[in-house]
Chain A
Amino acid sequence: MGEPKSDVLLGTLDLLLLKLLELGPNHGWGLAERLEEVSDGVFQVNQGSVYPALQRLKRKGFVKSSWGVSENGRRARYYELTTGGAGALKEELARWARTAGAVEQVISLRPSASEAGS
């Protein structure tokens, strides 16, 4: 058992993976790489945590996997977004935008301003 060892903001790994897969099918290694690359090293992602997350998305029917050939000619498992996954991504993005907006509002409150305004 044990907790997923990820320093990514709790619960956002699935969202990030879905978003990356929206750009096109990819294998676990590729996804882990892109994640580090794109986030500019902000997320200290334990690469291994990509796999349980992918398995979770697969069980939910958001992604499907198939075996293909990688850039260097090796057999690799590729993951691909399903229509259900695309829908889920859209929902998640909307929710993320709402959450982020709310967080932004809260943290931009200035204590003195709220007192002065009253």
Chain B
Amino acid sequence: MIRLVRGWIERGRVLLARSRFEDDLDEELRFHIDAATEKYVESGMSQAEARRAALRALGGVEVTKEEVRNETGVRLLQDLSHDLRFGVRTLLRRPSFTLTLLATIGIAIGSNAAVFSVVYSILLEPLPFAEPDRIVRIHNSYPGRDVARAMNSVRDFYDRQDVDAFQDVALYTEIGHNVGEEGEARRVFAMQVTPSFFSVFAAAPAIGSLFPQDLVRGAASYAVIGNALWRTAFGADPGVVGSTIILDGTPHEVTGVMPEGFEFATWDAQIYTPLVFAPEARFAQARNADRFHMVARLHADASVESAQRQLDALNAVLVGDYTPENRAAALSAGFRSEISGYLEDLTSSIRRPLLLLWLGAVIVLLAAIANVTTLFLIRATARRREISCRLALGAARSRVLRQLLTESLIVAAIGGAIGIALAVWSLTFLDAFEVYEIPRIDRVGISTTVVAAGMLAALVLGTVAALLPARGLLWGAGRSLGGGFRGGVHARPSRVHHLLVGLQVSFAFILVMTTGLLVESLRHLSAVDVGFEPDGVAVGATNLPRNAYPDPASRVAFAHTMVEALRAHPDVDQAAIATQLPFSNVENRALVFPDGATTAAGEGGTSAYRTAVTGGYFEAMGIRLLAGETFTRTDDQASRGVALVDEGLARLLWPDVSPIGKRIWLNQPTGNPGEALEVIGVVASIRQNSLTAPQLPGAVYLSFSQSTDSFFRIVTKTRADPAEVSALAVEAMAGVDPSVLYYWVDTLGDAVGGSLLFLRLPLRLLAIFAGVSLFLVVLGVYGVTTHVVRARTRELGLRLALGGTQSGIAGLLAREWSAVLGAGLGVGILGTSIVLQVVRSLLFGTSGLDLPVAGATLAIVFTAAGLAFFWPVRHALRIDPARALEVTD
């Protein structure tokens, strides 16, 4: 290897210092001849005789020089530079051919480089933690209650520490803090974590330490801060360790700063506070209080599967120890705990869309290879004479092959570079796709690996495209020197042409059909009635500092002042408060137990979406009130508890009678009248978090005055632009209390639309890919047809002269194509059914075997191919038969 490199260095040196090399060689040989002459003179020859003898002994100066030059290995480079210049000239002579090639290769490489960069950064790149494959996520699942992914309880945390496969188990919650003194606080993402959290992620602080060992619930407060916050808010001052920061008005001692790179994709926590449980919490906490995320680190020799088996066994034992009621409830809910790899879990929602995109990009690449090869084949036939001539004049086959290869590699290299540039450029548009919700999307970039792989792919493509035509040119070309294509025999598109164009048709069919299915799904989803009116609704969130707003009454007072301040604005129709909003990716549910319903043993109550709202909420959201009334300000802590239910819950609990006036209990069927809620109204059901997932039935609405929280959302219905109203809300908030922050600013329309990102993102890009593949079909068919009619001009002219009609001759040519198209479409349908395996879970309201979509796809591909066929044919048939017969080439 070293020797090889050294050889090339020597070659390069010779090439760069060409004149120096020649001078040295001259001098060396001159010395040789002089020395030899001298020797012969000494032996008695005359000067002239001696010199002739010396030259003879050497074997000729020029011959020797040439042989030395050959031995430098520079010859190859000289040929290469000649080939390069010749190749560039040849390509420049045919600008449309060259541009088409460059565009095709550029788009194919560009789309693949861009999509692969996204796929790699999101799905494949290991997480920035030590041995990330050992980190897993665990969630409880209650399929029997339609809750596929619930969180975990404190008891789960203690119980699962016994699972052998787990090295560490941790709980955490995602929270937010107002950091700093009141009035100048900033909102920062945070996590409350059990101390084991850091060992699960195998992380140690960059400076300082983690939480103290003997944490006691309710004792001193500690915080570990993230590197980004440390740099932005504390100027990277190491003295921050041991100092005190204010979180939501409460002082916390900073014990340490985490290193750079310790960050979480979906929740950019910059503050970690300890999650401590009282020892009795293990038993006091209700098992169904699933409030925490759970992560674990597996032992080095454990696998997700072995951990899952152990956890299943543990759950079986624990459920066996439940009270009969709880056991029946757990069984009827299909309770199970699922373990999945942390990265896999993180990217679960975007995995399929990205795989689909990847598949789409690969198909575009294959179509491009087919297309470029077709173009080179056509080009090669046109150059048959030139090549034959060169071969006949004694050019070595290898030399001509090298020339052809150089030419296609030039195109491939430039095309590849264009592709990489396209990829870099296109990734700057990621933001336009509203992708901010995709985990790790901010990491996406073109790496050197992608650049190298992209260029390599381009060069491979170039080699394939050059070699296939070269075979026929170099070894079948001898006979074509004389005749050209006079008889038109050589000009019939070969089976290879047909195969390649047929493949392009298949690829286009697959992409157009898949795009069509996604469009169809989106159409169905747009027609889904969400049950509320997202237009003109601005939303935001706030978190009231606990020390300034310690009791429910103060929070309620703030909320009502805020709502009134907003309502006072002429552009605002309605404003309201809610503890959770639809399409915000949170789903708090409660178990509802109706009065009088015979609660059979193990009957677990009815799960319902739970949110606490102020009276104007239904009007602001455009949720129809079907019966009864909504909340008023007098529904406060002092008065009787009231609730509204949605149609779905009403139908479940009281199928035959009016729910108005019925009493319900939440979470525990205590039957205690003091804890009962009276149903005062019924509202329409709404979509809670997803347009696609099956709707969980039931929602219960509580009065915010009676069931308050320091964290809540603010909803503003406006007739103006909701984005402007958000500014208004920030202003109103500052007017009420400048120390309170207003954040998570969004419009409800965007939140609902954002839930379709998993469909919109692949749809938009696939549509582009489908367009590209159609364009390639057009190019392929057009190129081959043009080539055919040009080469068969004489034959066509003859047919016309002998009385053939234009349409008749066009039909004749078309017949050759119909088989190709038919086969291509057949393969396309087959390919689509394979792609559907990846796509099916993304489809909505269509099975995949969608006849209208398939029909439309057929029509589109046929039309594109047909136009590309008839255009050159029509052009050719206009030719004067007399002139056509004179054409020789």
Any A CB within 8 A of the CB of B436: no
Tell me how far the C-beta of A67 lies from the nearest C-beta in chain B, rounded to whole angstroms. 8
| Extra pairs beyond A28-B28, A52-B71 (18, CB < 8 Å) | A1-B70, A29-B32, A47-B32, A47-B36, A47-B58, A48-B58, A48-B64, A49-B64, A49-B67, A52-B64, A52-B67, A53-B71, A60-B7, A61-B6, A75-B27, A75-B31, A76-B31, A77-B28
B11 vs chain A, min Cβ distance (A)? 7
A73: shortest Cβ distance to chain B, in Å? 11
Given A48-B58, A58-B10, A61-B6, are A29 and B36 also a contact pair (CB < 8 Å)? yes
The interface size bin for chain A is 20 to 34
What's the Cα separation between A38 and B761 when bound, in Å? 81
B28 touches A76 (CB 8 A): yes
Residues A49 and B72 in contact, CB atoms below 8 Å apart = no
Residues of B within 8 A of A60 (CB): 3, 6-7
Contact B7–A49 (Cβ < 8 Å): no
Chain A residue numbers with a CB within 8 Å of B99 are none
Given contacts A5-B59, A58-B10, contact A51 B68 (CB under 8 A): yes
Within 8 A of B (CB), among A49-81: 49, 51-53, 55-56, 58-61, 70, 72, 74-77
Knowing A29-B32, A59-B7, A72-B38, the reply to whether A48 touches B63 (Cβ < 8 A) is yes
B36-A2 in contact (CB<8A): no
Cβ contact within 8 Å between B67 and A4: yes
Contacting residues, chain B, for A51 (C-beta < 8 A): 25, 28-29, 64, 67-68
A55–B68 touching, CB < 8 Å: yes
Tell me the complex Cα distance, A113–B463, Å: 59
Cβ of B78 to closest chain A Cβ, rounded Å: 13
Please measure, in the bound complex, the distance between the C-alpha atom of A28 and the C-alpha atom of B29, giving whole angstroms.
Answer: 8
Residues of B within 8 A of A29 (CB): 31-32, 35-36
Q: In the complex, A81 Cα to B190 Cα: how many Å? A: 69
B35 touches A59 (CB 8 A): no
Judge if B24 is at the interface, Cβ distance under 8 Å. yes
Instruction: For B11, give the chain A residue with the smallest CB separation.
Output: A59
Is B60 interfacial (CB-CB < 8 Å)? yes
Is residue B586 within 8 Å, beta carbon to beta carbon, of the partner chain?
A: no
Q: How many residues of B contact A (CB 8 A)?
A: 30
Kindly list chain A residues whose C-beta atoms are within 8 Å of the C-beta of B66: 2
Q: Are B3 and A27 in contact (CB under 8 A)?
A: no
User: Bound complex: CA of A110 vs CA of B32, how far in Å?
Assistant: 47
Contact with B along A24-49 (1 / 0, CB 8 A): 00011100100000000000001111
User: B9-20: contact bitstring with A at CB < 8 Å (1 yes, 0 no)?
Assistant: 011000000000
B67 touches A2 (CB 8 A): yes
Distance between Cα atoms of A61 and B85 in the complex (Å): 31
> In residues 230-247 of chain B, which contact A (Cβ within 8 Å)?
none
Q: Is the CB of A27 within 8 A of B31?
A: yes
Docked CA distance A28–B26 (Å): 13
Verify A59–B31 contact, CB threshold 8 A. no
Contacts of A58 in B (CB 8 A): 10
From B35, B70, B71, contact of A72 by CB (8 A): B35
Partner of B3, one of A47, A55, A61, A70: A61
A48 pairs with B59, CB closer than 8 A = yes
CA distance A77 to B32 in the complex (A): 10
Interchain residue pairs with CB less than 8 A apart (26): A1-B70, A2-B63, A5-B59, A28-B28, A32-B32, A46-B59, A47-B36, A47-B57, A48-B58, A48-B60, A48-B63, A49-B59, A49-B67, A51-B25, A51-B29, A51-B64, A51-B68, A52-B68, A58-B10, A59-B11, A59-B72, A60-B6, A61-B3, A70-B35, A76-B31, A77-B31
Q: Could you say which of B29, B31, B58, B73 contacts A74, with CB atoms under 8 Å apart?
A: B31
In this complex, what residue of B is CB-closest to A76?
B31
| A-B contacts, CB under 8 A, total | 81
A28 is contacted by which of B32, B34, B38, B71 (Cβ under 8 Å)?
A: B32
| Given A46-B59, A48-B63, A60-B7; A55-B32 close (CB under 8 Å) | no
Which residues on B sit within 8 Å (CB–CB) of A47? 32, 36, 57-59
Residues on A with beta carbons closer than 8 Å to the beta carbon of B32: 27-29, 32, 47
Check B3 against A84 for contact (C-beta < 8 Å).
yes
Residues of chain B within 8 A (CB-CB) of A70 are 31, 35
Q: 6 smallest A-B Cβ distances: which pairs?
A: A48-B59, A48-B64, A55-B71, A52-B67, A46-B59, A52-B71
By the criterion CB–CB under 8 Å, are B73 and A59 in contact? yes
Given contacts A49-B59, A51-B68, are A59 and B29 in contact (CB under 8 A)?
no
**Roughly how many angstroms separate A30 CA and B453 CA in the complex, as a whole number?**
52
**Hey, which chain A residues are within 8 Å of B64, CB to CB?**
48-49, 51-52
B21: min CB distance to chain A, Å: 10
Bound state CA distance, A37 and B32, in angstroms?
16
Q: Which of A102-118 contact B (CB under 8 A)?
A: none
Nearest chain A CB to B587 CB, angstrom units = 71
Q: Please name the residue on chain A nearest to B6 by beta carbon.
A: A61
Which B residue sits closest to A51, measured CB to CB? B68
Query: What residues of B have a CB within 8 angstroms of the CB of A76 in the complex?
Result: 28, 31
Within the complex, the shortest CB–CB distance from B655 to chain A, in Å, comes to 92
Q: Mark A3-28, 1 if CB is under 8 A from B, else 0.
A: 01100000000000000000000011
- In the bound complex, residues from chain B placing their C-beta under 8 Å from that of A56 are 71
Q: Which residues of chain A are near B3, meaning CB under 8 Å?
A: 60-61, 84
Inter-chain CA distance A58–B60, complex, in Å, is 22
Q: How far is the CA of A27 from the CA of B68 in the complex (A)?
A: 15
B208-250 interface with A by 8 A CB criterion: none
* Cβ contacts under 8 Å, A48 to chain B: 58-60, 63-64, 67
Cα distance, A27 to B32, chains bound together (Å): 9
In whole angstroms, how far apart are the Cα atoms of A70 and B64 in the complex? Answer: 22
Nearest-Cβ distance from residue B825 to partner chain A, whole angstroms: 54
On chain B, the residues within 8 Å of A5 by CB distance are: 59, 63
Tell me the bound Cα distance from A24 to B24 in angstroms.
22
**Nearest chain B CB to A64 CB, angstrom units:** 10
User: Which chain A residue lies CB-closest to B2?
Assistant: A61
CB of B67 within 8 A of CB of A74, answer no
A5 to B32 Cα, complex, angstroms: 18
Q: How far is the CA of A29 from the CA of B59 in the complex (A)?
A: 13
Complex contacts, A55 vs chain B, CB 8 Å: 68, 71-72
Least Cβ distance of A43 to chain B in Å? Answer: 13
Q: Which residue of A lies closest to B75 (CB)?
A: A1
Closest to B7 in A: A59
**Which B residues touch A52, using CB under 8 A?**
64, 67-68, 70-71
| Chain A residues whose CB sits within 8 angstroms of the CB of B36 once the complex forms | 29, 47
- Give the residue among B2, B25, B64, B70 with the most A Cβ atoms within 10 A: B64
Shortest distance in angstroms between B54's beta carbon and chain A's nearest beta carbon?
Answer: 9
The interface residues of chain A lying within 8 Å CB-to-CB of B70 are 1, 52
The CB with the most chain A CB atoms within 10 A, among B3, B24, B66, is that of: B3
Point out the residues of chain A lying under 8 angstroms from B7, CB to CB: 59-61
A residues within 8 A CB of B58? 46-48
Bound-state Cα–Cα, A2 to B59, Å = 13
In the complex, what distance in Å separates the CA atom of A20 from the CA atom of B246? 85
Min CB–CB distance B6 → chain A (angstroms) = 4
How near does chain A come to B14, taking the closest CB pair, in angstroms? 9
Q: Given A48-B59, A59-B7, A70-B31, A77 and B24 touching (CB < 8 A)? A: yes
Q: Shortest beta-carbon distance, A69 to chain B, in Å?
A: 11
